[in-house]
Amino acid sequence: MARQEDGSYVVSTYREITDVLNDPHLSSDIRNLSRPIPPAEGGGTSSFIHMDPPEHDRLRRMAMRHFGPPHTPGLVTGFEGFLTAAVGRLIDGLADKERFDVVDDFAFPLPVTVTCHLLGVPREDEPRFHRWVNDIMDSVDPDPATDPQEKPDQGMQARTDLRRRLGELVAQRHGRPAGDLLSGLANDDGPDGRMTDEEIVATAKVLLIAGHETTVNLITNGMLTLLRHPRVLRRLRDEPDLAVPLVEELLRYEPPVHIIPCRVAYSDVTVADTVIPKGSQIMLMLAAGSRDPDRFHDPDRFDPDRRDNRHLGFGSGIHHCFGSPLARRETQIALTELVRRLDHPALVADPPPYRRSPVLRGPLHLDVVQGDG
């Protein structure tokens, strides 16, 4: 625990991070900060990941009725054929390339394709959704020294266009369900009622943007880690079932999200013998917690056979990533197929260039050669 000059607090140990994530006296709503900061939603209704109970719990329950067990237990397993085919098509495009970028040529396009299919976005709309997500991601972490001013403007316009098109698709689903997630949310009158159209759009945006960021980083970090550990790469090629524990170890060892930048104290709270005043910002160092030597043996070693691996890769508590089952399976299939089908892949540069963001940890590019490259 450390107090910063701006009055915020940093928590970096496993036990204290899990305590904070499960403490009902702490808020995920930045409006509770004593010194408010502007929201990053770019307009529109805020998603439930930035809300507190009871509203958070109500909206999350409604989303989960169509995204996982117990109401839709077969969603992820029923998606495996589509996932495998989507991964295969992208790898087909790498077959004749001596050199390629894992980010641009594989990890970046995959989650958008998968999420569009899940939501029920028409195939003819997918190129626009890819472009909007690309513009939004380019605007998230600009470099003032090199990036042109239009990047933030393009990102804001993309958020507006994405929100508008999702709203149109939701409106089309009312009374005309098509077996997709937007249809389920637009026509479900469960015990918690029905989401408004604006709430459905906000939920879809979380899957498209937040889900995209984490999955791209997880796949890219995974491929980088395997190329740095060739024995594990060869083992995964020979033992595809290793993908399940391997991805869990990746989530601990090289997580896609390093920091939860903001939890807010509703009232004075005590964390690790430190009293944190009401309204203070608390930053949680998830990556540090997952390498806490008091919690994990030999924490800096990548070990897919690690037992008792309750990492913080997808957070904890009521805000545990609700898209994690899909992100896990995407990554398991992606890494298994990459190591199976690529021809002796090797890194071009190590370390690769990284994104500037301290929150989202992943290479900006990951150039790989294969064959005689």
Find out whether 279 and 250 touch, Cβ atoms under 8 Å. Answer: no
Domain span including residue 193: 2-369
Provide the pLDDT for residue 229.
Answer: 98
Query: If you ran DSSP here, which 8-state letter would residue 1 be given?
Result: -
How far apart (Å, rounded) are the C-alpha atoms in residues 204 and 197?
A: 11
pLDDT in tens, 292-327: 999 999 999 999 999 999 999 999 999 999 889 899
Does the predicted model carry a pTM greater than 0.85?
A: yes
CATH number at residue 337: 1.10.630.10
CB atoms within 10 A of CB 199: 21
Provide the pLDDT for residue 84.
Answer: 96
Determine the straight-line distance between the first and last CA of the chain, rounded to whole angstroms.
48
Provide the pLDDT for residue 59.
Answer: 94
How far apart (Å, rounded) are the C-alpha atoms in residues 279 and 265?
A: 5
Provide the pLDDT for residue 305.
Answer: 97
Q: How many domains does the chain have?
A: 1
Provide the pLDDT for residue 36.
Answer: 64
Which segments of the chain have a pLDDT < 70?
36-44, 142-148, 372-373
Question: Quick one: CA dihedral 12, 320, 339, 220, positive or negative?
Answer: negative
Find out whether 226 and 233 touch, Cβ atoms under 8 Å. Answer: yes
Alpha helices in the chain (DSSP H): 14-21, 55-64, 75-78, 80-92, 102, 109-119, 126-140, 150-173, 181-187, 197-205, 211-228, 230-238, 243-253, 286-289, 324-341
